[in-house]
Structure 1
Amino acid sequence: MKKLICYLLVLGLTITTFGCSFLDKEEFVGVKGHVTLTNTKLKESTSTQQISTQSFAIKGITSANSKEEYVQDEILVSFEDVAKTKVTNLLAKYGLTVKRELHKLKIKVLKVNSDYDLKTLIEQLNNEAIINYAELNRKIRLQAAISPNDPGYSKQWNYKAISLPQAWDVTTGSKEVTVAVIDTGVDLDHPDLEGQLDLKNSVNVINSSSTADDDHGHGTHVAGILGAVTDNGRGVAGINWNIKIMPIKVFGATGSGNYSNLITGIYWAVNNHAEVINLSLGGSEPTSSLNSLKVAVEYAYNKGVTVVAAAGNGGEDMIGDLGLLYPAHYPSTIAVGAVNSRLERANFSNYGANLDFVAPGSYIYSTVPPDLTNNDLAITDPSGYKYAFGTSMATPHVAGLAALLIASGQANTPAEVKRQLRLTAQDLGVFGRDKKHGFGLINAYAGVKNAKITKTQVFAGKMNGSIINRTSQVTYPVANGFYSLANIEAGSWYLYGWIDVNNNNLVDKGDYFGKTDSRVSRGLNVNLNLSLITDKAIQYQVE
């Protein structure tokens, strides 16, 4: 099968900013600063500025500040290990009936008599000795919106923005890696998803069947980003050419769902051997700090399953809020915000201290069901493809890269996946982790090639033709990209940053490299941006 590999022929090697002397009484004779890995630069033609920016909210999706942000006649209760008669007596006392049981999580979904005020009932139940906790069965919502379908738009700018074409030269994924899409289901008959779906382990949580077909469109769009069939002369490309996508349906045709279905889906994914779970959804804060959703994502984490969750789209006004939705708020997930084609935080993207990474989320072109004409709430198009935007679209970029990292052997556990993403991300905004970008924009090539920021050789030197003569010792940045290079000789010189990705002691194609535009001297803060060398004609010897 012929691979679709895309390269930029020439990429500038030098971007730097500097200034501000930091010399103090201790006379530090060196330079300090920050190093950033950059993704491949987007061409102007890939910009979405020419696309209409009119926003379309998905109808029927309950917002976080809705008056009915929880299921009106249901609660979730976790009981102590006590005699069955005690549980039966308590249920009778409050007029509760068991609607469904999540056995492994020891949680019961209880139907409530309409005479009760749910919040008052929750308070009363949490005072009962045989109850661990009781909580509202909060609603969750999808984190996407529809955008215009402009056929002149360069359809997949998002992959170039995260250096994915270069990563495909290293790995295109593996059928041994399964990503669970807990969502509205997936179009099981979409030709651009043929052979990519794990139908044996798919499930419809809503009606307890194995048919997780999509009657809304959101889950199909997410699945196409993760793993549409690639190099087949049809439709769109997926992040993973080889993958198993496990469809788990927890939303109906209206795009509305609840926590009980979500946690059932998480449990199903873990116990049916998913390595990654994609949650392009979110809900408001659970009733108590100890709650069923937190238990579920921690269960996944402790079983070695990476959970990737959308930060949220700011509610009905589609303006990003300070504070992440749940479960993205939990540290046991990877929380994902969105950027546009200018690599700016998308205005709809929620942000906060718990945000981990950002990924493309504006005007993303992917698969949708072609025939949902009877559903006014659906994301559908006769062509089988459509633009959408939201942190829902950003999330499968990160989940997809997590699958590539696992396939390439660069990571396995949730902690390893997050660390690899962190050490290879492109820092955006304030240096280091910040509320609006987390650790930065994911970088697929750096991730699968293990080009960690901590491997950057920072040194002073002078260039003589194809030879770079070092004039200082070599130092390495710490995990947040900051470095300190001491004991540099007086005078002026260039400052270099280099990751020898190929391990051949040459600065050449496939390496990350950067240098200052002009000579600098000690006592300055010097910040370096390292770019990927894509031109095979570029080669330097470092001595």
Structure 2
Amino acid sequence: MPGEVIVTLEEGVSLQSVTALRAAGVEFRFVRRIAGTRMALYRAEGLDQNQTLAAAQQLNRQAMVAEAFPNWILRAQKTPNDPLYPLQWHYPLMNLPAAWDITDGSSPPVNVAVVDTGIIAHPDFQGRLLPGYDFISNPAEAGDGDGRDNDPTDEGGDSGYHGAHVAGTIGAATNNGSGVAGVSWGARIVPVRVLGVTGGGSFADILEGIYWAVGGTDLPPGVPPNPNPARVVNLSLGGEAACPNEVGRYFQDLANLGFILVVAAGNENKNAANFVPASCPGVLTVGAVGPQGRRAPYSNYGTRIDVMAPGGDTSQSFTVGGQTFPAGVLSPVLDERGNPFYAFYNGTSMAAPHVAGLVALMLAREPGLDFQTIRDRLRNTSRPLSASDCNRPSGDECGAGLVDAARALGGSGGGTPSPPQTRSLTTYVVGFYCTNQQDCFPYDERRSRLEVIQTSASRIPFTLASLAAGPYLVAAWQDTNGNQEVDNGEPFGFTADASGRPRIIPLRAGEALAGLVIRMRPAEAARLDQARPGIPVQPLEKLVRDRF
């Protein structure tokens, strides 16, 4: 409060006897004693905040004054009321709550393009989406019966609703009493569909999708201009290749024009310099840390990394309110029935949108920032990772370190956030040998096979070998609480057909089970056996107990 100071007088000096104090050339008049304390409020006219601070310092040097300080204005720490926010450990890790006290990005809103698998209908995107476009030119890859069109809906398949998960981190509807929170409370999402039902997409489609997203006008025939150009583009995609020279020039030109391209470093635990677009100039390249703030085991590394951000690590778990969850990044997807849902994913794909959302906060506060200024500020305000935390010979291989959202916005940073308590998770894959090809049970335990696998990314390859020829049902399960029982909420899945029913796999002599897709979702263990015959809940538990 300009002109107001709170004063404590030395022992033996009566408040009533000191009706005025002089400092900074003005007179501070006694206003009142602060109830229940030895402190009193004094006020002077005509001072601004800086002058008030200087006056308090002068008062501290006076003989009768024990202590004087400004009558500060304190504000509520901005914490969203979204009920799943307590599960988003990844936001405190990057000091985001303190950043929200500076700006939540609501005004002016910043357009962020998510060049990915498209978007879904979900309550957490209500009021958050701008019109997008489907740039997939191959109808088979698009999965929607045609090529390019103005409908960027994610058609599912092997997409995993990746684009929606990324978009939710950037800008899910926040502080609305529902679902999860997004990094920017005001960002508007421009969905650009370039990855299809196999989870992949052509580089040509991706480049044209980026060009459309930023408002390019020299477009292919039939493609209308984007009426809502994006300042920020998130690219949670990539492949192992060098960045072509012309692509590098293209991205650098976009950066020179003020567009901010945020790119995932890749999930191969390799040097990001050998991946595109992560190695290209003109982009912000983001690696991933797990819940303890150390480089996630899958994250690419190297001096091409600009900064690190939370990407999760589902080989670990954390506990909130007595429930245990995989330590991934929580964001919107659809469940197997096409209903709105939330899932824990991990990967540099999840790290990049944390930075894209933070850039949106920075631009909401300072719209004139250019690419180089944003890049420098993010790097200069990040918390460096040691060689040990980076799990590399040098911490420089994790770029400038873990982003600090509050410091990037000009705040103090508020110290080092406390990471959640985590423990290692056990993940099981079981091939049940079916004696009944209708529902697989009873099964032959002697010819079934169980493997423990290490989870370090959202897609984990596994192989079940040395199997007898015959029919198999394959199930996967993550034991989050370590009790070797399938409990409600624990990730669980099985080989399924298009309708979601269990799919039995015929195996010839000498073959191995590999290349299967098993999506684990929170189990409803109490009714799995009854509602869906053929899902091996109790047999899976028995196999685990017998082996371990």
TM-score (norm 2): 0.50
Partner of 1:338: 288
**Structure 1 residues 131-156: Cα deviation after superposition (integer angstroms, max 9, x where no partner):** xxxxxxxxxxxxxxxxxxxx999520
State the distance in 1 between where 2:309 and 2:368 align. Answer: 19
DSSP-derived class of the 1:421 partner: helix
Partner of 1:172: 104
1:360 to 2:310 alignment:
yes
State the distance in 2 between where 1:531 and 1:434 align. Answer: 18
2:253 aligned partner, one-letter code: Y
Which of 380, 384, 389 lines up with 1:423 in the alignment? 380
State the distance in 1 between where 2:184 and 2:98 align. Answer: 13
Give the aligned length: 291
Which of 203, 213, 216 lines up with 2:153 in the alignment? 213
1:170 aligned partner, one-letter code: I
DSSP-derived class of the 2:109 partner: strand
1:350 aligned partner, one-letter code: N
State the distance in 2 between where 1:323 and 1:305 align. Answer: 22
C-alpha contact (below 8 Å) 2:84/2:180 kept by paired residues: no
C-alpha contact (below 8 Å) 1:281/1:310 kept by paired residues: yes
1:351 to 2:351 alignment:
no
State the distance in 2 between where 1:412 and 1:322 align. Answer: 26
**Structure 1 residues 23-54: Cα deviation after superposition (integer angstroms, max 9, x where no partner):** xxxxxxxxxxxxxxxxxxxxxxxxxxxxxxxx
DSSP-derived class of the 1:368 partner: strand
C-alpha contact (below 8 Å) 1:411/1:420 kept by paired residues: no
C-alpha contact (below 8 Å) 1:204/1:211 kept by paired residues: no
Which of 238, 252, 259 lines up with 1:282 in the alignment? 238
State the distance in 2 between where 1:360 and 1:306 align. Answer: 19
CA gap of 1:233–1:326, structure 2 versus 1, over 3 A, is: same
2:237 aligned partner, one-letter code: L
CA gap of 1:370–1:531, structure 2 versus 1, over 3 A, is: closer
1:329 to 2:261 alignment:
no
Which of 256, 267, 289 lines up with 1:302 in the alignment? 256
**Structure 1 residues 367-394: Cα deviation after superposition (integer angstroms, max 9, x where no partner):** 01235x5xxxxxxx74511010000000
1:243 to 2:208 alignment:
no
C-alpha contact (below 8 Å) 1:357/1:441 kept by paired residues: yes
C-alpha contact (below 8 Å) 1:427/1:441 kept by paired residues: yes
* Cα offset, 1:422, TM superposition: 1.2
1:369 to 2:356 alignment:
no
**Structure 1 residues 423-482: Cα deviation after superposition (integer angstroms, max 9, x where no partner):** 21111115999443100101111111x14xxxxxxxxxxxxxxxxxxxxxxxxxxxxxxx
CA gap of 1:425–1:212, structure 2 versus 1, over 3 A, is: same
Partner of 1:29: none
2:248 aligned partner, one-letter code: K
C-alpha contact (below 8 Å) 1:324/1:351 kept by paired residues: no
DSSP-derived class of the 1:225 partner: helix
2:164 aligned partner, one-letter code: T
Partner of 2:400: 439
CA gap of 1:321–1:416, structure 2 versus 1, over 3 A, is: closer
CA gap of 1:198–1:353, structure 2 versus 1, over 3 A, is: same
Which of 269, 284, 291 lines up with 2:213 in the alignment? 269
Could you tell me the percent identity over the aligned residues?
39
* Cα offset, 1:203, TM superposition: 4.1
C-alpha contact (below 8 Å) 1:230/1:238 kept by paired residues: yes
* Cα offset, 1:294, TM superposition: 2.3
Which structure would you say has the larger Rg? 2
C-alpha contact (below 8 Å) 1:321/1:349 kept by paired residues: no
Gaps of 5+ in 1: 1-150, 374-380, 452-500, 502-510, 513-529, 534-543
* Cα offset, 1:336, TM superposition: 0.5
C-alpha contact (below 8 Å) 1:185/1:251 kept by paired residues: yes
Partner of 1:455: none
State the distance in 2 between where 1:169 and 1:412 align. Answer: 20
C-alpha contact (below 8 Å) 1:205/1:248 kept by paired residues: no
Gaps of 5+ in 2: 1-82, 138-146, 216-225, 313-327, 419-548
C-alpha contact (below 8 Å) 1:183/1:248 kept by paired residues: yes
C-alpha contact (below 8 Å) 1:176/1:243 kept by paired residues: yes
1:252 aligned partner, one-letter code: G
C-alpha contact (below 8 Å) 2:382/2:402 kept by paired residues: yes
**Structure 1 residues 150-198: Cα deviation after superposition (integer angstroms, max 9, x where no partner):** x9995200000011111111111135311110000011x2111111111
DSSP-derived class of the 2:379 partner: helix
C-alpha contact (below 8 Å) 2:93/2:417 kept by paired residues: no
State the distance in 1 between where 2:272 and 2:363 align. Answer: 32
DSSP-derived class of the 1:256 partner: coil
DSSP-derived class of the 1:173 partner: coil
* Cα offset, 1:532, TM superposition: 8.5
Equivalent runs, 1:176-195 vs 2, <5 Å: 176-187=109-120, 189-195=121-127
State the distance in 2 between where 1:239 and 1:152 align. Answer: 14
C-alpha contact (below 8 Å) 1:336/1:357 kept by paired residues: yes
State the distance in 2 between where 1:243 and 1:306 align. Answer: 14
**Structure 1 residues 391-415: Cα deviation after superposition (integer angstroms, max 9, x where no partner):** 0000000111011001111762111
